Amino acid sequence: MLACLRRKGQATASELREGLRPFRPLAHSSVVTLLQRLELKGLVTREKGTVGKSFVYRPTLRAGATFRAKIRRLVHRAFGGDSVALVASLFETQPPSSEQIDKVERLLDDLRQKRKA
């Protein structure tokens, strides 16, 4: 849900429900409950929408740090701290496109440059 909201930038519960439908169909009340929980954790904010009773939700800056923490825990729990094994598993599960390979190569080049500095 939070990833979908980050992609959209901002969305109502109905818009998020539609965005999630191909991956995980949810009842509107379930989407609202999840958004309320994310708001309590400080991961999203909400403000009154322009139509009806709807609210518009936005991810907070803290959401990026949350993703990093979750990935860090995943790497340690599932891959014994080996981030290369995580990437290999991702690429085995869903082979990257040529564009994605180019992006990964640029990322690796950037990481090499930072190490030299």
Whether the predicted pLDDT of 46 surpasses 70:
yes
Instruction: Tell me which fold the domain 2-60 belongs to.
Output: Arc Repressor Mutant, subunit A (1.10.10)
- Average pLDDT (25-53) is 91
pLDDT tens digits, 14-27: 999 999 999 899 99
Distance separating alpha carbons of residues 4 and 1, to the nearest angstrom: 5
- Average pLDDT (97-103) is 95
Q: Are 63 and 44 in contact (CB under 8 A)?
A: yes
Q: Are 13 and 31 in contact (CB under 8 A)?
A: yes
42, 48, 49, 98, 99 from 88: Cα distances, Å = 33, 43, 43, 16, 17
31: which residues sit within 8 A by CB, 6+ positions away?
1, 13, 14, 16, 17, 20
pLDDT tens digits, 63-84: 667 778 888 999 999 999 999 9
In the chain, what are the domain boundaries? 2-60, 63-116
Question: How high is the mean pLDDT of the chain?
Answer: 91
